[in-house]
Amino acid sequence: MRKTIEPQMILGEVDISKIEFDPRSRDDIPQILKGLQHIYCTPELREKVFQILEKIVPEDTDANNGRPGMDLWKILVLGVIRLNCDWDYDRLKEMADHHMGLRQMLGHNMFNSDKKYALQTLKDNVSLLTLEVLDEINQVVVNAGHMIVKKKYGEGLKGRCDSSVLETDVHFPTDIWCLFDAIRKVIILTSRLSDALETSGWRQYKHNCKNIKNLLRRIQRKKHSTSKNEEKKEKRKQLILDLYQEYLNLVNKFFLRARTTINEARGTIGESKTIAEIEHYMGFAEKLMDQVNRRVLLGEMIKHEEKIFSVFEEHTEWISKGKAGKPVELGLKVCFLEDQYQFILHHRVMEKEADNQVAVSMVVEAKEKFPDLNSCSFDQAFWSPSNYEILDKILEEVILPKKGKLSVDEKIRQATEYFIRGRKQHPAIESAQNALNHHGLDRCPDHGIDGFKRYVALGIVGRNIQNLGRIILEEERKKWMRKQRRKMRLAA
């Protein structure tokens, strides 16, 4: 049984519409809560958002029976503020337990001040939000923002499109480190399987993992000799090769032992899921053992397509954008499309895609949600002749600079007034990307590609809600300042 929100207020509870915020505050939390308050206190918006939130409840759930779950409104509030403030779940729990303004937005009162949240409860409920639900909520929030900024009727939206990298929570990927990650998981999971089946052979699994890691550290500390004496250089080289061979032999030993344990346990009732997980990591271990052997002992060059960058976050990509001081980023590129009011209309997680492969789809999908999008600017990375031809039919103004040497026609096109104006305004999207990086979208702690996409979508929704609240607070701040000046004049 799960409700959108508890309709009956409790004695001592503050109505969400009555929550007051300091108009002089420049902190993030009042802006986010003000945006959420506006959504809740506007009947049309509240009804739309509540209807969307109800989609995360399974269809076969009986609303009148069962243990009550967390209200859907609370899930949205906690998810948005967690990501927009770049908190982990421990900080979210602390703030949800003790921050007065947040607790008022969650519907708590002075008489249930001892109400605390369990850490796992927060994780389980926030993860219920899906990519589709968050995209629909984002569309409602952006439309509400356009109403607040008094967008003129018939005025077109002018978009800016660019991509940035959201890093995954992984360490730097060397093949021997990834091999250690894989065999460590194999050993730990096989030990649990052995305990469940009450078989012997894996009692010292912690000691075994430590032995493998110690050998890994020895390899890392050994450096190739820089001596001019060829005999010494060859001796050091052979010592390093022997350490690699010893490392591979030790890993292979536990790999074969795990295979034997799995074969003995196969067909056991209730253990098929554990066996499948072990075999998943064994597949990584087998592939990485082969790559280490080929690279170090056989002297082969491993192709980039074959390399594994993480055994836990398999979607991680090696991205080199040529940034100063940051030659390599490990994660996925995310493409954003922002309008002139600083609302993010659409985004896309790019899995093994280049910028010029998503330019058309970004505009088409954004235009489906916001039909009055009539202009969009890009940088040169999005250029291709076919992209320009298609976008020119979809949009009234396409600010897409051509790569390389310009023809006479291209020079004329790029000298037009709208093109120059769009190019001057395009760098403003860097500000939006920087804001997103400082509000959660710099490194993704959630696991799996589904968690990654949900994390991005929640960050976009949170940023737009904060922008909505910021605009409202700015208007209230102006009114407050006029009121203060009036008081000063009367006092004088």
Above 60 in pLDDT, residue 153? Answer: no
Query: pTM for this one?
Result: 0.89
- C-alpha span between 316 and 309 (Å, rounded): 6
What is Dmax (Cα atoms) for the chain?
Answer: 94
H helix count then E strand count, the chain: 17, 7
Contact in structure between 376 and 396 (CB atoms under 8 Å): no
Query: Bigger pLDDT: 273 or 390?
Result: 390
Contact in structure between 384 and 392 (CB atoms under 8 Å): no
Instruction: Tally the residues of the chain.
Output: 492
For the chain, the domains span: 16-139+465-489, 153-170+315-446, 175-306
pLDDT at position 323 is: 75
Burial of 423 (0-12, 13-18, 19+ CB in 10 A): middle
Question: HSE of 256 in the Cβ direction (CA atoms, 13 Å)?
Answer: 5
pLDDT at position 228 is: 82
Question: In this structure, are strands 157-168 and 443-444 parallel, antiparallel, or unpaired?
Answer: parallel
Helix (H, G, I), strand (E, B) or coil at 314: coil
Structure tokens at 351: 């899995």
Backbone angles phi, psi at 338, to 5 degrees: -110, 145
Above 60 in pLDDT, residue 12? Answer: no
Across the range 207-226, mean pLDDT stands at 90
Give the position of tokens 């303004």.
101
Across the range 215-233, mean pLDDT stands at 86
Structure tokens at 354: 């280049």
Above 90 in pLDDT, residue 206? Answer: yes
pLDDT at position 113 is: 67
- C-alpha span between 95 and 87 (Å, rounded): 10
Axis crossing angle, helix 28-41 with helix 43-53, rounded to the nearest 10? 100
Above 70 in pLDDT, residue 111? Answer: no
Above 60 in pLDDT, residue 218? Answer: yes
pLDDT tens digits for range 229-265: 888 888 888 998 999 999 999 999 999 999 998 888 8
Q: How far is CA 73 from the centre of its chain?
A: 21
- DSSP letter at 300 equals P
Q: Give every CB contact of residue 39 below 8 A, 6+ residues apart in sequence.
A: 45, 46, 49, 140, 141, 144, 465, 468
Q: Give every CB contact of residue 346 below 8 A, 6+ residues apart in sequence.
A: 336, 337, 362, 365, 366, 369
Across the range 111-128, mean pLDDT stands at 85
Above 80 in pLDDT, residue 281? Answer: yes
Backbone angles phi, psi at 344, to 5 degrees: -90, 115
Helix (H, G, I), strand (E, B) or coil at 262: helix
Question: HSE of 113 in the Cβ direction (CA atoms, 13 Å)?
Answer: 7
- DSSP letter at 444 equals E
- CATH 3.30.420 is right for the domain spanning 153-170+315-446: yes
Q: 315's torsion region: left (phi>0), alpha (psi -120 to 50) or beta?
A: alpha
Contact in structure between 16 and 40 (CB atoms under 8 Å): yes
From 65, 35, 32, 158, select the one nearest 425 (Cα to Cα).
158
pLDDT tens digits for range 434-475: 999 888 899 999 999 999 999 999 999 999 999 999 999 998
Q: 310's torsion region: left (phi>0), alpha (psi -120 to 50) or beta?
A: beta
pLDDT band at 38 (very low <50, low <70, confident <90, very high): very high
Burial of 102 (0-12, 13-18, 19+ CB in 10 A): buried
- C-alpha span between 77 and 57 (Å, rounded): 17
Percent of the chain with pLDDT over 90: 59
pLDDT at position 485 is: 87
pLDDT tens digits for range 389-420: 999 999 999 999 998 888 888 889 889 999 99
pLDDT band at 269 (very low <50, low <70, confident <90, very high): low
Burial of 267 (0-12, 13-18, 19+ CB in 10 A): exposed
pLDDT, mean over the chain: 88
Above 90 in pLDDT, residue 479? Answer: no
Give the position of tokens 């023809």.
407
- DSSP letter at 297 equals I
| Amino acid of residue 23 | P
Q: Give every CB contact of residue 489 below 8 A, 6+ residues apart in sequence.
A: none
- C-alpha span between 404 and 171 (Å, rounded): 37
Q: How far is CA 111 from the centre of its chain?
A: 37
Question: Using only C-alpha atoms, what is the Rg of the chain?
Answer: 28
Contact in structure between 289 and 311 (CB atoms under 8 Å): no
CA distances for 191 relative to 41, 183, 245, 288, angstroms: 54, 12, 25, 22
pLDDT tens digits for range 294-337: 999 998 999 988 999 999 999 999 998 777 778 889 999 999 99
